[in-house]
Amino acid sequence: MCAIKMNREINMKSFLRTAVTAVALGALPTLSMAGGNLVISANTSDAAPRAAFEEVVDKFKAANPDINVEFNIIESEAYKTAIRNFLVADKGPDIGFWFAGNRMAGFVSDGLFGDISSVWKNAGLETAMASTMPSVTFGGKQYGLPFSYYQWGLYIRSDIMKANGISEFSTYDELLAACTTLSSKGVKGVAIGTKYLWTAAGWFDYLNMRTNGLDYHINLMLGKIKYTDEGVVNTMKNWKKAVDAGCFMDNHQNYSWQEAQPALINGEAAMYLMGNFLVPNLPKETQDNLDYWQFPDINPGMARGEDAPTDLMFMPANAQNKDNARKFLEFAAQAEIIEAIGKALQQLPTHKDSATMDDRFLKKGAKVLAAAKTAQFYDRDTTPEMASAGMQGFQDFMLNPDDMMDILEEIEEERARIFGAI
């Protein structure tokens, strides 16, 4: 059985086990009676986001003492099961948390997300959140309130680069040359851990956007282009150049993205393609020697697409207290609230009047994103099932690059099964 098909069966079994566990543990929220109530179900279980949104809820309660607020926090992986359960229940919470782009598109098309266009109009968000508005707009209506997003890019050990005479590069050939130079000095060009497959997807996203452009990439994510198409083949050929140049750390399939961080910290690798959430994980001495570079060009003159994953709040269609839900979303959409969330999460605020925290990585990332059109991320822009198949294939490719066409044919078989023939 091919790796992709085997992974699909394993994932389905894992999903079913998770679903049973979530229900057994009472992951679904306890719903309050309709009236002066507001029920919020959030996936903000890590310390920083939990504290940030507890503060938002407390401020809302202080401003609206007549509303009884129930704030349920569900562990982030269990939440992925819980949301599918509460969205199809007779009664759901009034506010949920999720991801923009294709990860919400299926729920919207199934009528499970409520229309919050009135929130956008009343709060003037068409202008204030213009950059993220497309990621939550379907059929001309808005179905989510983006509260933060963040840049991806190359996080660079500038001290290692300087010591080896490597300055900021603007072309992919220069990146490959940097890998060759570093390898000759016993340093890997790129830290990466692909045990959790999404990290490989980051490389695919950037190489595909730089090889074929953002529109091509998005159409591929939507199942409108075959994985055996010449454009995808060219993307993989460009990726193979990096594998052949020895850019990536050895045994990456055995490391999570966190477990690969010591290679960057210890100077065993000089680059890491990652989201800005990497930075707070690094010790201060590493951050002091860190820089952020935009992923370089492959085809000169092609507009640079960028990954900018966006997180949001929404109102389920089966919410029992929709007036209070809209009131909460308008409250949370205020520039000062969005600013506080961004600072707590060390991410970019989605409101144009919110100040970005005084952080050199975020400020550089904000400048990059302001000049680019953005995608979400591979596993947010396509369906979960397609993402699973594609990402498994990407890891297989990094381990066996000479099997490129066989791997692409396996991924394409899954695309055709999921999206249909082209």
User: Using one digit for the tens of pLDDT, what is the confidence trace for 95-116?
Assistant: 999 999 888 988 999 999 999 9
Beta-ladder partners of 4? none
Beta-ladder partners of 348? 149
Give residue 3's pLDDT. 54
Distance from C-alpha of 394 to C-alpha of 208, rounded to nearest angstrom = 12
Residues 205/382, Cβ–Cβ less than 8 Å: no
Does position 62 have pLDDT exceeding 90, yes or no? yes
Give residue 102's pLDDT. 81
Which phi and psi (to 5°) does residue 195 adopt?
A: -60, -45
Distance from C-alpha of 382 to C-alpha of 400, rounded to nearest angstrom = 24
Q: Which two tokens stand for residue 208?
A: 């595909």
What mean pLDDT do residues 131-155 have? 94
**3.40.190.10, 3.40.718.10, 3.40.640.10, 3.40.50.1820: CATH of 27-148+310-370:** 3.40.190.10
- What average pLDDT does the structure give for the chain? 91
Determine what percent of the chain is predicted with pLDDT higher than 90. Answer: 80
What are the tens digits of pLDDT across the range 340-375? 999 988 899 999 999 988 899 999 998 998 888 889
Residue 49's pLDDT band, with cuts at 50, 70 and 90, is confident
Distance from C-alpha of 267 to C-alpha of 164, rounded to nearest angstrom = 13
Give residue 10's pLDDT. 42
Q: Indicate the pairing of strand 305-307 with strand 269-275.
A: unpaired
Residue whose structure tokens are 């969205």: 87
Q: Which two tokens stand for residue 122?
A: 């009343």
Give residue 58's pLDDT. 98
Residue 4's pLDDT band, with cuts at 50, 70 and 90, is low
Give residue 394's pLDDT. 98
Distance from C-alpha of 215 to C-alpha of 208, rounded to nearest angstrom = 10
What's the whole-model pTM score? 0.79
- Using DSSP's 3-state secondary structure scheme, residue 213 falls into coil
Give residue 56's pLDDT. 98
Query: Between 94 and 374, whose confidence is greater?
Result: 94
What mean pLDDT do residues 181-197 have? 96
Give residue 390's pLDDT. 98
DSSP state at residue 34: S
What number of residues does the chain have? 422
What are the tens digits of pLDDT across the range 166-178? 999 999 999 999 9
Does position 6 have pLDDT exceeding 70, yes or no? no
DSSP state at residue 168: P
What are the tens digits of pLDDT across the range 328-349? 999 999 999 999 999 988 899 9
Does position 72 have pLDDT exceeding 70, yes or no? yes
What are the tens digits of pLDDT across the range 369-405? 888 888 999 998 998 899 999 999 999 999 999 999 9
Residue whose structure tokens are 């302001």: 370
Give residue 15's pLDDT. 39
Give residue 23's pLDDT. 36
What are the tens digits of pLDDT across the range 225-279? 999 999 999 999 999 999 999 999 999 999 999 999 999 999 999 999 999 989 9
Nearest to 214 by CA among 355, 361, 372, 76: 372
Does position 134 have pLDDT exceeding 90, yes or no? no
N-term to C-term CA, the chain: 25
Q: Which two tokens stand for residue 72?
A: 């349920």
Does position 301 have pLDDT exceeding 50, yes or no? yes
DSSP H or E stretch at residue 23:
helix 3-24
Query: Between 281 and 186, whose confidence is greater?
Result: 186
* Every domain of the chain and the residues it spans: 27-148+310-370, 152-307+383-419
Domain 152-307+383-419 fold is D-Maltodextrin-Binding Protein; domain 2 (3.40.190)
